[in-house]
Amino acid sequence: MKRAIYIILTAILAASCVYSFEPEGIVSQRRIVIEGDILIGGMTEVDVRSTMPIIYDEEFDMSTPVGRAWIEDSNGLTYEDQSAPLLKSSFTFDTREASADCSYRLHFQDYGTGNEYISRWQSVIKAPTVTDMSFDYDLENVNIRMDVVGNDTNYYRWDYVEDWEYHAEYAPTYIFDLITFRARYYNDGLPDYSNYWCWNRAISKEFGLASTERQSQNRLDKQILVTDSRRSIKYQSHYRMDVTVRGLDKDAYDYLRNMKEISNITGSLFAPSPDDMRGNIICQQDSTEFVIGYISAVQIEKHRMYIGMGENTFYIAPLPTLLYEPTVDEKTTLLDHYNNGLRPVMDVYVTDPDTGMSSTIVGWGPSNCIYCQSFGGTKKRPDDWPTYHE
């Protein structure tokens, strides 16, 4: 029988708990992927996708499944996605007022096949408590950590979002005049801060998992969330992390742990193969159909930590960019230097080693030393950011 490697067609939302992996499967079979926790006290997001093999025949169905989805609780109430279009593959449900005392399950009806997929009933797992977030560092790295006190489970999953403010190396006092092809003062020699301050964001690439099953106390102490170089520009000015933690039942924990091992290609030779890893979603019309995904009903805990200018003394700044006066001769003009990525920055005082006389030159440097966008950020400041720069 032919075998093939499957890949997920499109990335599942970060709020869901699926990351691309490569299980084996039968070539002719399309597999449905349904992921997203039922979030009690918040907005629930669910994504439906399908897998495709790297090797497939011309008749293989490569389409993304679309249909209708709804959430049902044990009291008979349903939660529907009312937004257009009626048939789609991504759904949002308002479960902010949903009761934590009920059990829940998800339904998805595939418009293309007519099949209905239903998750097993799940009791709501109460949120753990994040009691603290902290950081420590050694000679090379900084660690962001959290302390968590458990509630009614010994299994935990977390995701995080990082935001940081940083700045370019220099705020230039010169600009290059493209009419005269000379450097001239910007705004009477005042620094130009228009490209000095930037902000950037990163979302955790994979979820974190931990268990306290074998511990005497149901708590996570100094759990590492991120380890970064002390030279990372994240910590140059202001940094914050928002972590979201939820509890899991043991079945969900085992399922996600195996998925994570496969995604990282770190699973044991004796670990379950992807074909053995069934989630908690069943096709009503064919109970033997392999469906990828695990739906939990959870409450979440969110916690935020800032590292400000007075706390980031561990940051190791790069060596300063040396500014110099570019050579101009018969073959090379200032415009040539400009077109090659150099920019005039500021006045630099130099001393002639032979005469000891001092003079002022216009120091030039690479464009990335005056444009903060060169480091991947943007000028868009988060609305709730604690500092403000004109």
For residues 261 and 181, state if they share a domain: no
Identify any residues that bridge with 67 across adjacent strands, giving them in sequence order: 88, 110
Residue 304 forms part of a structural domain: no
Q: 77 and 30 share a domain?
A: yes
pLDDT of residue 277: 72
**Based on the domain organization, do 222 and 115 belong to the same domain?**
no
Residues 117 and 181 grouped into a single domain: no
> Mean pLDDT, to the nearest integer, of 174-198?
94
- Pairwise CA distance, residues 11 & 61, whole Å: 18
* pLDDT > 70: percent of the chain: 86
Q: Can you give the pLDDT at residue 62?
A: 59
Question: Within this chain, do residues 76 and 158 fall inside the same structural domain, yes or no?
Answer: no
Residue 49 lies in a domain: yes
pLDDT of 25 over the 70 cut: no
Q: According to the model, what pLDDT value does residue 12 have?
A: 37
Asked, for residue 139, whether it belongs to a domain, the answer is yes
15 pLDDT more than 50: no
Specify the pLDDT at position 84: 74
pLDDT for residue 163: 98
Which of 127-131, 199-203, 288-292 shows the lowest per-residue confidence on average (mean pLDDT)?
Answer: 288-292
Give the span between the Cα atoms of 313 and 336, in whole angstroms.
Answer: 40
Decide if pLDDT at 110 tops 80.
yes
Same domain, yes or no: 60 and 205: no
Is residue 232 located within the same domain as residue 259? no
pLDDT at residue number 238: 97
Q: Is the pLDDT assigned to residue 294 strictly greater than 90?
A: yes
What pLDDT was estimated at residue 55? 53
- Please check whether residues 341 and 207 belong to one and the same domain: no
Q: What's the mean pLDDT in 39-60?
A: 78
Full domain range(s) for residue 363 = 174-198+319-375
Q: Evaluate if residue 382 carries a pLDDT over 70.
A: yes
Asked if 109 and 81 count as a contact pair (C-beta separation under 8 A), the reply is no
Average pLDDT over residues 137-147: 98
- What would the two tokens of residue 142 be? 């900084």
Domain check: are 119 and 256 in the same one? yes
Band the pLDDT of 5: cuts 50, 70, 90: very low
113 is a domain residue: yes
Residue 214 domain flag: yes
Mean pLDDT of the chain: 88
Residue 382 included in any domain: no
Same domain, 44 and 93: yes
Quick check: is 146 in a domain? yes
User: Residue 149's Cα: distance from chain center in Å?
Assistant: 25
State the pLDDT at residue 118.
98
Confidence (pLDDT) at 388: 84
Each residue of 326-370: pLDDT tens digit?
999 988 999 999 999 999 999 999 998 888 899 999 999 999 999
CA distance 156 to 45: 19
Q: How far apart are the first and last CA of the chain?
A: 66
3-state secondary structure the chain: CCEEEEEECCCCCCCCCCCCCCCEEECCCCCEEEECCEECCEEEEEEEEEEEECCCCCCCCCCCCCEEEEEEECCCCEEECCCCCCCECEEEEEECCCCCCCEEEEEEEECCCCCEEEECCEEEECCCEEEEEEEEECCCEEEEEEEEECCCCCEEEEEEEEEEEEECCCCCCEEEECCCCEEEECHHHCCCCCCCEEEEEEECCCCEEEECCCCCCCEEEEEEEEEEECCCHHHCCEEEEEEEEEEECHHHHHHHHHHHHHHCCCCCCCCCCHHHCCCCEEECCCCCCCEECCCCEECEEEEEEEECCCCCCCCCCCCCCCCECCCCCCCCCHHHHHHCCEEEEEEEEEECCCCCCEEEEEEEEEHHHCCHHHHCCECCCCCCCCCCCC
> pLDDT at position 390, please?
65
Q: Residue range 134-151: average pLDDT? A: 96
Q: Which residues pair with 246 in a beta bridge?
A: 157, 300
Is residue 136 pLDDT above 60, yes or no? yes
* Average pLDDT for 119-132: 97
- Average pLDDT on 308-326 reads 93
Say what the pLDDT of residue 2 is.
39
Q: Residue 273: what pLDDT?
A: 55
* Amino acid in position 122: Q
Share of the chain above pLDDT 90, in %: 75
Is the model's pLDDT at 18 over the cut of 90?
Answer: no
Q: In terms of domains, do 135 and 215 share one?
A: yes
Residue 306 lies in a domain: no
Tens digit of pLDDT for each residue in 55-100?
555 555 557 889 999 999 999 999 999 777 778 899 999 999 999 9
Give the pLDDT confidence score for residue 387 in this predicted structure. 87
Task: Indicate whether 293 and 367 sit together in one domain.
Answer: no
**Stated pTM of the model:** 0.84
Average pLDDT, integer, range 269-274: 50
Under a CB-based contact definition with an 8 Å cutoff, are residues 40 and 15 in contact? no
Q: 251-262: string of b/e by CB count within 10 Å (b at 16+)?
A: ebbbbbbbbbeb
Per the structure, the count of domains in the chain is 3
pLDDT at 149 over 80: yes
